[in-house]
Structure 1
Amino acid sequence: MTDRKPMIAVLTGAGISTDSGIPDFRGPQGVWTRDPDAEKLFTYEHYMADPEVRRRSWLARADNAAWAALPNAAHLALAELERAGFPVRIITQNIDGLHQKAGSTPRKVLELHGTMFTVRCMGCGERGTMREALDRVAAGEPDPACLSCGGILKAGTVMFGENLDGETLSQAGAIAKACQVFWAIGTSLTVQPAASLCAIAMTEGAHITIVNAEPTPYDVIADEVVRTPISEAVPQLVRALLAAHGNGVAGGGGRR
């Protein structure tokens, strides 16, 4: 047992939020598995060029399960780890804000793909809230334009065909290099450059754990691969760290 707490980097994908009622994209019941054409709603080229895609996108945003979703045991366990004094940095591919809702410090959560709760104009760059834009949709505007310049409004998320924010990606890379423990949770590790953070951490000597229902391309370099349901596996990982460093036992979870 040691009092020195390792720095923990956590890369999370859609799989961590499925137990909160938010479907993933590529899983057996994923959004794109059930409706391959839905991928157009998340593709920049189609969104910018086709008003019908934009109209469908606004309706999908209004119906997004994340509006009513609550953090599950995995999100809560990661927040508990931070409260226990561990240096935790969460790098998420999700746009649902559930890590922050669970109690993780917002500045310690890097949202690689942005957030669904804001909008920005693709013409003048002005930003606003998604709720304001959706209120306009509900009032009869199927494709609300920017009130300042008339440009196309888009969610504050990164679509396919768009580059990730350079500063956010640079911060994520620095975290992967500096950590002693790297957990990849609920991500297929097929989308670059996010997936490469796993290899960066491994190269720098971090202990790699992958928690995902399906195999990933990085399983071969992992120190541990966990197939147990995420809302059970993550609390158990947290309990193990807390016990090893004299912080007691985290709540929730189950056997791996």
Structure 2
Amino acid sequence: MKEQLAKIIKEVYSKKNRNLFTFLTGAGISADSGIPIYRGVDGIWVKGTKFHKPEEFGTFKYFKENPEEVWQYSLFRKKMFENAHANESHKEIVEIENLLQDRFHLITQNIDNLHRRSGTNRIYEIHGNNREIKCSNGCQAIEYLPAEIEGKDIDEDLTEKDIELLKCKECGGWMRPNILWFDERYDEKTNKKFSSLKMAKNSGLLFIVGTSGATNLPMAIAETTLKYGGTIVDINTEDNLFTELIKDKKNKIIIRETSTEALKIIRELLENIVKE
């Protein structure tokens, strides 16, 4: 595996066109930071929404009917994210960005802000993020969540001040988290849909780290990279939907190790190639 990786990394690094190194990350990369994945028996949806399926609770429709409940849960997640720390995988990605500079891009499905806090700069957050809010009625621009609003315990209600700060100054309606819910479509403003696909088109290497491919834009990113001749490196501890996509392709490498182990190898290989 290491020899195969070294060969393709060197080949892409020497290219003049379609020479980007793109990393696509998901919930698995934050698991070592103590943030549970979204699905499964130990997932954040199961623990945080005992009486709801993710596809019911994590929707714009449910928010419009139950805004305070959704905000209470969002602020519970805010507290969880703020108490978490970037792990070795996040730090390895920062080192890789430092080596590659503007040939590096990170596309993440995570809203936890850990990539940004660890020092990564070239980030496309395709599921939005937990730092920002926007009007649920569609008016006003995206803005930061007011600093006065603090994270909550799972059973802690919104205060009157929280509610006041979470109302749109223009129409009086509820502001909402600037994230992608299950019943919403990807767009460019919040989700960088077209920018991500353009990046995929120009990627000589797409590293898929800690994500299974359960949503359609990440899968479209992988398909686009393949279509234009790029190679996919599937770094997950188990087979997944990306594995199914690439199983019959020549331009693929499948790595069944932890993200930290695999990223360390990639970083070391890049260090050697950049020095040459």
| Residue 242 (structure 1) shift | 2.4
Q: Give the 3-state SS of the residue equivalent to 1:19 in structure 2.
A: helix
2:266 maps to 1:242:
no
Structure 2 matches for 1:68-217, cutoff 5 A? 68-86=83-101, 87-105=103-121, 108-123=122-137, 124-132=139-147, 134-135=149-150, 139-140=159-160, 143=163, 144-166=166-188, 168-217=192-241
Residue by residue over 1:69-110, the C-alpha shift from the partner in whole angstroms, topping out at 9 and shown as x without a partner, is 2221111111111211351111111112222222222xx211
Distance 1:46 1:139, change over 3 A: closer
Q: Going by fraction, where is helix more abundant, 1 or 2?
A: 2
Instruction: Letter of the 2:222 partner, please give it.
Output: C
Q: Which residue of 1 aligns with 2:4?
A: none
Separation in 2, partners of 1:38, 1:118: 25
RMSD over aligned Cα atoms:
2.6
2:243 maps to 1:230:
no
Q: Give the 3-state SS of the residue equivalent to 1:84 in structure 2.
A: helix
Count of residues paired in the alignment: 244
Q: Give the 3-state SS of the residue equivalent to 1:110 in structure 2.
A: strand
Q: Give the 3-state SS of the residue equivalent to 2:240 in structure 1.
A: coil
Q: Give the 3-state SS of the residue equivalent to 1:154 in structure 2.
A: strand
Q: Which residue of 1 aligns with 2:21?
A: 8
TM, length-normalised to structure 1: 0.83
Separation in 2, partners of 1:210, 1:171: 22
Which segments of 5 or more consecutive residues in structure 1 lack a partner in the other structure? 248-256
Report % sequence identity.
25
Q: Which residue of 1 aligns with 2:36?
A: 23
| Residue 217 (structure 1) shift | 1.7
Instruction: Letter of the 1:226 partner, please give it.
Output: I
| Residue 213 (structure 1) shift | 2.4
Moved over 6 A (4+): none
Instruction: Letter of the 2:105 partner, please give it.
Output: R
Separation in 2, partners of 1:236, 1:164: 33
| Residue 219 (structure 1) shift | 1.0
| Residue 62 (structure 1) shift | 4.3
Which segments of 5 or more consecutive residues in structure 2 lack a partner in the other structure? 1-6, 152-156
| Residue 122 (structure 1) shift | 1.5
